[in-house]
Amino acid sequence: MLEREIESALGKSVKALGGLYWKFVSPGMNGVPDRIIALPGGLTVYVELKKPGEQPRPLQLKRHQELRERGHLVYVIDTLEGVHAFIQEVYIHGV
């Protein structure tokens, strides 16, 4: 399983729910999460995508923590099962 396959599955799932699925690029700021997801109802979430078993780099973990300290939701997804669990948690259960 490649990271791009997980990314594609997540994008399709988010779009099917009426959400926005944007690539997050921040010039001059390395380590930011890969995607910003904006779901109906006002929920915005940051997602770091990895290939199965891969962990975020230390700088990525620092950026995730900075966001979480400010009340933002950050998820790391590395499997198709993780995509399904994410959709269940943030959309159906409303976090």
Looking up residue 24, the CATH number of its domain turns out to be: 3.40.1350.10
User: 58-90, pLDDT tens digit by residue?
Assistant: 999 999 999 999 999 999 999 999 999 999 998
Q: Taking 70 as the threshold, does the pLDDT of residue 10 lie above it? A: yes
Number of folded domains in the chain? Answer: 1
Residue 13's CB is within 10 A of a number of other CB atoms, namely 18
Beta strands in 1-95 (DSSP E): 20-23, 35-39, 43-49, 73-77
Dist. CA 44–CA 81, nearest whole Å:
21
User: 27-65, pLDDT tens digit by residue?
Assistant: 999 999 999 999 998 999 999 999 999 999 999 999 999
Contact yes or no for 5/81 (Cβ under 8 A) = no
Q: Taking 80 as the threshold, does the pLDDT of residue 16 lie above it? A: yes
DSSP H helices in the chain: 3-16, 58-69, 80-87
Task: Say if 57 falls within a structural domain.
Answer: yes
Dist. CA 40–CA 78, nearest whole Å:
24
Task: Say if 35 falls within a structural domain.
Answer: yes
Of the two residues 1 and 20, the one the predictor is more confident about is 20
Task: Say if 95 falls within a structural domain.
Answer: no
